[in-house]
Amino acid sequence: MSKTIVLKLGGSVITEKQNPGVIHTTRLQAIAETIAHHRDLPLIIVHGAGSCGHPEAHQYRIPDGVGRENAAGIGETHRAVAGLNSTVVSILRDAGIDAVGVHPLCGSFAEEGRLISFETRQLAMMADLGIVPVLHGDVVMDRKRGGCIISGDQLVLRIAEGVRAERVGLATDVAGVLSEGEVVRMMTRSTADAVDLGDSEKMDVTGGMRGKVQELLALADTGIMSSIFHIERLGDFLAGDDHGGTEIVMEQL
């Protein structure tokens, strides 16, 4: 197990999901200040697309596959989310964090919407050197479908597995996974079935909270636990304190 922390900033947190292309820059500045307080932690950041990518992916019907008729959607969707990435990286750098943008479209490959080729060794090396790689949900070329969307949540799974992360946290706009208005503090594969995981209320082509929990249950199967918490509790998560959210853990047999 490395000391690396994998942190996902949800698209709901860093963009206005209802307003295409609108980035929450003031919130990002506050996030960057919080991360800067913990600059000694080896950190890999992933962010979602929110309103910078989901509308384009939807418009070009990327989830249905990519052929010549909608191939332009690869460039349009990537441009939207890479633009968001550039803003996130700039704001982190302004706060004194040595952030570097890393685009999954360049150098990864997928089959049926799942990554079959994805390198993580360079990310681990960067984190060890105090560099913070910043990846994002992206379009990726797909052997069967032509192209597909790889969510930030799938990237979290692959990165955390690859670097054997010590801690994995997903910051979102809710306090955790909710059931009847209460935060479910601990979730395993068997208890997840009892929770109503509706899709995100906003335009989301990657399954909203349901997709997130599926990826994190797969991560828990490998022995790596993860947390979903409200962005306001980011400082607590980074400090290793109780963040009031949901822990997704391996089934105890």
Ligand X SMILES: C=C(C)CCOP(=O)(O)O
Ligand Y SMILES: Nc1ncnc2c1ncn2[C@@H]1O[C@H](COP(=O)(O)OP(=O)(O)OP(=O)(O)O)[C@@H](O)[C@H]1O
Annotated binding site for substrate: 49-50, 54, 152
Binding mask 157-196 vs ligand X (x if CB under 6 A, - otherwise)?
----------------------------------------
Question: Which listed residue (5, 11, 105, 205) binds ligand Y by CB under 6 A?
Answer: 11
Q: Are 49 and 136 in contact (CB under 8 A)?
A: yes
How far apart, in whole angstroms, are the C-alpha atoms of residue 24 and residue 13?
8
Partners of 178 in the β-ladder: 183
Return the closest-CA partner of residue 52 out of 21, 19, 24, 9.
21
209 binds, among ligand Y, ligand X, none (CB under 5 to 8 A by kind): ligand Y
* Sequence-distant contacts of 75-78: CB under 8 A, at least 24 apart: 77/53, 77/138, 77/139, 77/149, 78/103, 78/105, 78/138, 78/139
Residues tagged in the binding site annotation for ATP: 8-12, 173, 208, 212
Which amino acid type is present at position 185? R
Q: State the minimum distance, in angstroms, from the CB of residue 212 to ligand Y.
A: 6
Question: Which listed residue (10, 42, 147, 162) binds ligand Y by CB under 6 A?
Answer: 10
Which amino acid type is present at position 87? T
Piece in contact with ligand X (CB under 6 A), picked from 18-26, 90-98, 136-144, 219-227: 136-144
130 lies in the site for ligand Y, by CB under 6 A: no
208 lies in the site for ligand Y, by CB under 6 A: yes
Question: Which listed residue (5, 6, 7, 13) binds ligand Y by CB under 6 A?
Answer: 13
197 binds, among ligand Y, ligand X, none (CB under 5 to 8 A by kind): ligand Y
Q: Which residue number, 36 or 116, has a Cβ lying nearer to ligand X?
A: 116
**Which tokens is 81 given?**
């989310």
Binding mask 190-229 vs ligand X (x if CB under 6 A, - otherwise)?
---------------xx-----------------------
How far apart, in whole angstroms, are the C-alpha atoms of residue 178 and residue 197?
8
Say how many Å lie between the first and final Cα of the chain, rounded. 22
Place of tokens 């390198």: 119
Q: Are 4 and 166 in contact (CB under 8 A)?
A: yes
Piece in contact with ligand X (CB under 6 A), picked from 98-106, 145-153, 169-177, 215-223: 145-153
245 binds, among ligand X, ligand Y, none (CB under 5 to 8 A by kind): none
Q: What number of helices (H) and strands (E) belong to the chain?
A: 9, 14
Interacting residues with ligand Y (CB under 6 A): 10-13, 48-50, 152, 172-174, 177-178, 195-198, 200-202, 204, 206, 208-209, 212
